[in-house]
Amino acid sequence: MNVPRQFARVPDTVDVQRLQESTVGIVGLGSVGSQLALQLAQVGVGNFVLVEGKALKLEHTSRHLCGAGYVGRNKAEATAEALSQAIVGLHGKRLKVFPHNITRTKPATRFVVDLLADCDLIVASTDSRDAQRRINRSALRLEVPAIFPGIDADADRAEVFISLGSRASACFECWDGFRAPDAALRAVGALNTDVLAIVHPTARLCIGLLGASTEAAEALRGTRRDPRPRTLHMIRRFDAPREGVFSGGQTYVRLTPDPRPGCPACGGQAPGAPERRTMARAQATNSRAPIRPQSSLPAPRASDFSLPSIEIPHPLNIPVAGIAVVVCVVLIFVSPPFLALFWLVLAAAISYLSGF
């Protein structure tokens, strides 16, 4: 099948066709998420699930994909529209938009799992620690790879963490568990160049994880000394360039966090645990040995989340629905029989739709 013309200048080393058939879920369409979505769409990713509950403000536009014309609109909807204008053929069912805040739902896990069930890769580009952890547990449950880009509050360090499932590597909470639940992982005052410094490697890692480029996947491979996949990529910025003009004064470190024993999300199997020994032995004897499915992984529960959850408001406002039902009930008794039946049906419908 021919590559669509708009991707004719994507290098041959990238499997555009594979990307066209892939679905990437992005939770958080702020500066990182929105610009990452464009990077991925420009290289050929054909389907997106965009999840974001907040609206674009004027102060966001200095480093957001969407400009002043989108202020006031939901950021996921705005990003979807910008993508559809930028990339030919990227519209309709290829862009699923969910204008929801995933931390305001209960039960949260089912909600996130439902949103992201069809994704081949999940990007958690949100600055909410609660949301990051919910996404991590949902990705473990779905057995879908997930990637977590973040910039620290001073914008002098950025990191990208990759979750490959609890049997294969440490999960996000294995790595992130040392941070306080309310610790900031957000650069309010960052330049867009600092944001792009994390967007670009994240885009490459996404392409590698989607199996579209062995060159991009190379950054995820370990070394002979430590053959484990490199699931943590850290970028440190220094005040002055140290390695010449093109280094930009940055250092890029790739490493592999150890599983955290007792991790609340994955159990944190320590290296050498039975499952790991089994996998290592299988790898040693047969390079094509399948990875054991994680179906035995305990499903996370809503009570696992330490932060309080808030119900998403129902489409029908509860107090208004209650008053309407009471009025309908009164009208049942004062109306002729044929009208009473109508009020009865209306009251039942309002009750059902509002959950009143």
Partner 1 sequence: MSKAAVAYELIREPKAESSGQEADLRALPDGRIVPLDWREEEPEIDRGSDATWD
Q: Name the minimum Å distance from CB 271 to partner 1.
A: 11
Q: Name the minimum Å distance from CB 160 to partner 1.
A: 13
Q: Name the minimum Å distance from CB 210 to partner 1.
A: 8
Residue 21 near residue 45, CB atoms below 8 Å? no
Closer CB to partner 1, 15 or 77, in the complex = 15
3-state SS, residue 258: coil
Q: Name the minimum Å distance from CB 218 to partner 1.
A: 7
Task: Please give the Cα distance from 252 to 250 (Å, whole number).
Answer: 7
Closer CB to partner 1, 191 or 255, in the complex = 255
Q: CB neighbours of 271 closer than 8 A, spacing ≥ 6?
A: 258, 259
Q: Which two tokens stand for residue 149?
A: 């880009």
Closer CB to partner 1, 116 or 328, in the complex = 116
Q: Name the minimum Å distance from CB 289 to partner 1.
A: 10
Residues that bind partner 1 (CB under 8 A): 120-121, 139, 142-145, 163-165, 168-169, 174-175, 177-179, 208-211, 217-218, 220-227, 229, 232, 234, 253-258, 260, 283, 287, 290-291, 293-294
Q: Name the minimum Å distance from CB 81 to partner 1.
A: 28
Question: Could you give the C-alpha distances from 306 to 70, 101, 103, 107, 129, in angstroms and in order?
Answer: 35, 17, 11, 13, 11
Task: Please give the Cα distance from 350 to 208 (Å, whole number).
Answer: 49
The DSSP bridge pattern shows strands 146-151 and 157-163 to be: antiparallel
Half-sphere exposure for 244 (CA within 13 Å, toward CB): 1
Please give the DSSP secondary-structure letter assigned to residue 192. H
Question: Could you give the C-alpha distances from 282 to 285, 291, 292, in angstroms and in order?
Answer: 5, 9, 10
What angle, rounded to 10 degrees, do the helices at 337-354 and 318-334 form? 160
Closer CB to partner 1, 178 or 338, in the complex = 178
Closer CB to partner 1, 101 or 256, in the complex = 256
Closer CB to partner 1, 53 or 177, in the complex = 177
